Structure 1
Amino acid sequence: MATCSPGDTLILPRNCHISAISAMVLSGALPKYIVPEYDFKWDVAGGITPSQVNDAIKELEMEGRKAAALLVVSPTYHGICSNMDEICHICHSYNIPVIVDEAHGAHLGFHPELPSSSLSQGADLAVQSTHKVLCSLTQSSMLHMQGNLVDRERISKSLQMLQSSSPSYLLLASLDAARAQLSENREAIFDKAIDLALEARSLISKIPGISILEFPSFSSFFQIDPLRLTIGVWQLGLSGFEADDILCNDFGVVCELVGTKSFTLAFNLGTQRDHVLRLVAGLKHLSQTSHFSQPVKDEGKNVNHFVCLDDIRISMSPREAFFATKRKVSIRDSLGEIVESLYVLIHLVFQL
């Protein structure tokens, strides 16, 4: 709302958070989607590349339009970071502000082993869910701003429309406490968490049938957060959901994100070595008790785009779709129909 007026175009990835769809409903902005690289073997989407951003800007120019802003999700839930330095350079050459959904990156830049923050790479706005990796209370977050491409007064007015006039001082105090915790020991505060993540990666890599998401799983991989560990279990004949159930019920390991072929773990300031040992014990149990399946052939060919979403035509704006009359149908009966939200559509496709 601070960058896009009704009818303006917002460039954003197709795997954006549902809140980005809601923002377009509220602002009346029109989407120009970028399809991120996708690995079918892992069932994981990567980031977006500078060349994709440049192509999107050029395509809009050919249509006589200019993007009001670019939204990037970096890092993704799996910790995959886009090359924000080059992306910001491209966008700023066109006076296009860059907004970064950095919900999972409030800790970036606070250790030499961590990727750089989006602000340090030139982003104009960065939204961070401080509670996800740092130690503030749930629901607390921060909006960071720099530069002059975005109107500060318009941001303030937009926040007044969306936020409560009675803020929670518990949440505000927890944000300040998290900030103070970082500032007091910013050079070493993540040493233990990163050491434990590296130890876990080393131990898990030796377990038969277990895969770890690493470079160069995606050709567009720029950086990855070492505190996010995505573990593949398809060679064991298990889905991520089945593995998660066993790890949670039998070993007390709670996964951050669960997928069809893998699950993701988040290491943070509260992670202890006992947690790593329980995780490794659980994975060894899965390896010893599961039936191995044949490895995926031609692995290099498994990286591709969301092919099933490449040819989807946008029939109406997100705002029009939200207010349109709609009905619920089965997945089979939805073929050929207009789906209200791309976010919903992606989940429907992965259920097929």
Structure 2
Amino acid sequence: MSDSLEILVSRLGRNDILLGKNKNYTSFAGYNGVPLTEISCVPSAAVSQNEIPPLVSALKASAEENAASFHFPGHNRGQAAPSSLTQLIGAKPFLHDLPELPELDNLFAPEGPILEAQKRAARLFGASETWFLVGGSTCGIQAAIMATCSPGDTLILPRNSHISAISSMVLSGALPKYIVPEYDFKWDVNDTIKELEMEGRKAAAILVVSPTYHGICSNLGEICLICHSYNIPVIVDEAHGAHLGFHQELPSSSLSQGADLAVQSTHKVLCALTQSSMLHMQGNLVDRERISRSLQMLQSSSPSYLLLASLDATRAQLSENREHIFDKAIDLALEARSLISKIPGISVFEYPSFSSSVHIDPLRLTIGVWQLGLSGFEADDILCNDFGVVCELVGTKSFTLAFNLGTQRDHILRLVDGLMHLSQTSHFHQPVKDEGENVNRFVCFDDVRISMSPREAFFASKCKVSIRDSIGEICGELVCPYPPGIPVLIPGEIITEEALNYLQEIRSRGAVITGAADFSLSSFVVCVT
């Protein structure tokens, strides 16, 4: 290196030389003129309604530099991007697909734009601290359970929890205490805590799924009061509820009802990129350092800044018009509900028997088609192939629609046209009594027996047996229809005939079954004892 270049490097800093910037490093490393070292100190009062999201701004500034890049990823800011993909999505995503450059901050030790973006998210969602997740809500659930449960601790959770809760128990060594959920959830919680006390055990945490995939919200205020009276932290799998609390017609958020940890899929109803989620914390029942350590173990050491920036941008989008941003989506959902309820043979689930303390997300609409002699899978195929209507969740008797900020009135009209077609071309039959009630209930969960912990079963010796020989054996694999991602067979549970019959039935109707070593379901992996 020449003497003049050494002097220049010493004055400007090495990264400015690499990026072709002939100015002060701290100014370059910041955003909107705020130095990197001062970003975390930006007062909330200084943030305008149309502020530029800090992480988005930092990513934009870095991508615009005329850099001679000798760093990952190998497409080199899009210069070697695969042409087949650039023809699909363009070159700009590659330009912004950058690694952990100093000016972009570090997800695991944030001091600059990531820290400020997380702080602004915490303020918006009502948390004391927020972590950005690039591994989806799965990563957040795993971190929350690992942060609250040590090996041998008991975790209370509903048996219809997402697959991420099961993997969390394998990772943490927690022992499950399942509740087969009914909608008056608080009494089951209280009874379960007392039952554990009689066994000489105490729950380390409780996991509540609210809202469910179908939009049913538990009475979290009552649950939190009960659990906090026993000093038990409440984790809420709020993957489907990042939007809650942002409109008067929407149910309250979990944090506003006292939850200690809430995990939200910011990409479901809100507008972040798929796989982008947030973990929120409040109160002092959970060790925040243990959350950070868990996330460092679980998240990629090379996080996507496109995913992180999408979280920051979505937070800003929600902040700009938080009082009315969901007006259109809710109006369209209510209009769709009204129109569909008039179609013969089509049922719109209203959940009339629930207590007034349980709320329903109006942006979820579950449509029953069993009176038409159709399964949800058959109806979904017709709607998709003939009307271009794509459902979110399909079941044996119904399907569920997710309304969001991008829903258009044309979508509603096509949906109604499709359902009218189903009604006019299908043969009615007498509906089975109570056929449409309790869409979240699985008969195969009525006889759950645990022989090993999920962790013990995961590491146990295993063999494969025929489907009929597997009845009464200890399950050695995680068999899960997807969506919704609720396991029917969990490692360590006794395999029942009801569970096998359920799996075969929904598979015959078109459901996708994941996790089974034998995709045909003619055999199962069991633990050797």
When normalised by structure 2's length, the TM-score is 0.60
Q: 1:2 aligns with which of 147, 161, 165?
A: 147
1:216 is displaced (CA, Å) by 1.8
Distance 1:21 1:304 in 2: 18
Please identify, of 99-108 and 328-337, the stretch whose mean Cα deviation from structure 2 is larger: 328-337
The answer (yes or no) to whether the contact 1:257–1:263 under 8 Å persists in 2 is yes
1:265–1:330 distance in 2 versus 1, CA, 3 Å: farther
Higher-Rg structure is: 2
Secondary structure of 2:225's match?
helix
1:39 is displaced (CA, Å) by 14
C-alpha RMSD of matched pairs (Å):
4.0
Percent of pairs identical after alignment? Answer: 90
Partner of 1:230: 366
Partner of 1:177: 313
The answer (yes or no) to whether the contact 2:266–2:278 under 8 Å persists in 1 is yes
What is the aligned length? Answer: 337
CA deviations 1:220-253 (Å, max 9, x no partner) are: 9711100000000000000000000000000000
CA deviations 1:41-71 (Å, max 9, x no partner) are: 999xxxxxxxxx0011000000000000000
1:335 is displaced (CA, Å) by 1.1
1:145–1:171 distance in 2 versus 1, CA, 3 Å: same
1:57–1:260 distance in 2 versus 1, CA, 3 Å: same
Distance 2:150 2:220 in 1: 25
Partner of 2:279: 143
1:304–1:250 distance in 2 versus 1, CA, 3 Å: closer
Distance 1:74 1:266 in 2: 16
Please identify, of 316-325 and 306-315, the stretch whose mean Cα deviation from structure 2 is larger: 306-315
1:308 is displaced (CA, Å) by 3.9
1:212–1:68 distance in 2 versus 1, CA, 3 Å: same
The answer (yes or no) to whether the contact 1:39–1:303 under 8 Å persists in 2 is no
Distance 2:364 2:195 in 1: 35
1:281 is displaced (CA, Å) by 0.2
Q: Where do 1:1-80 residues align within 5 Å?
A: 1-37=146-182, 53-80=189-216
Please identify, of 155-164 and 299-308, the stretch whose mean Cα deviation from structure 2 is larger: 299-308
1:295 is displaced (CA, Å) by 1.9
CA deviations 1:49-99 (Å, max 9, x no partner) are: xxxx00110000000000000000000101011000000000000000000
Distance 1:314 1:216 in 2: 34
1:8–1:298 distance in 2 versus 1, CA, 3 Å: closer
1:306 is displaced (CA, Å) by 4.7
Please identify, of 213-222 and 138-147, the stretch whose mean Cα deviation from structure 2 is larger: 213-222
CA deviations 1:266-303 (Å, max 9, x no partner) are: 00000000000000000000000001010223679989
1:168 is displaced (CA, Å) by 1.1
Secondary structure of 2:463's match?
coil
Distance 1:302 1:28 in 2: 32
Structure 2 stretches of 5 or more lacking a match?
Answer: 1-145, 475-487, 491-524
1:165 is displaced (CA, Å) by 1.8
CA deviations 1:156-208 (Å, max 9, x no partner) are: 11111111222211111000000000000000000000000000000000000
1:288–1:241 distance in 2 versus 1, CA, 3 Å: same
The answer (yes or no) to whether the contact 1:196–1:276 under 8 Å persists in 2 is yes
1:250–1:299 distance in 2 versus 1, CA, 3 Å: closer
When normalised by structure 1's length, the TM-score is 0.89
1:217 is displaced (CA, Å) by 5.0
Structure 1 stretches of 5 or more lacking a match?
Answer: 44-52, 339-343
Secondary structure of 2:273's match?
coil
1:300–1:127 distance in 2 versus 1, CA, 3 Å: closer
1:202–1:267 distance in 2 versus 1, CA, 3 Å: same
Please identify, of 126-135 and 297-306, the stretch whose mean Cα deviation from structure 2 is larger: 297-306
Partner of 1:320: 456
Secondary structure of 1:349's match?
strand
Distance 2:430 2:368 in 1: 14
1:165–1:67 distance in 2 versus 1, CA, 3 Å: same
The answer (yes or no) to whether the contact 2:244–2:250 under 8 Å persists in 1 is yes
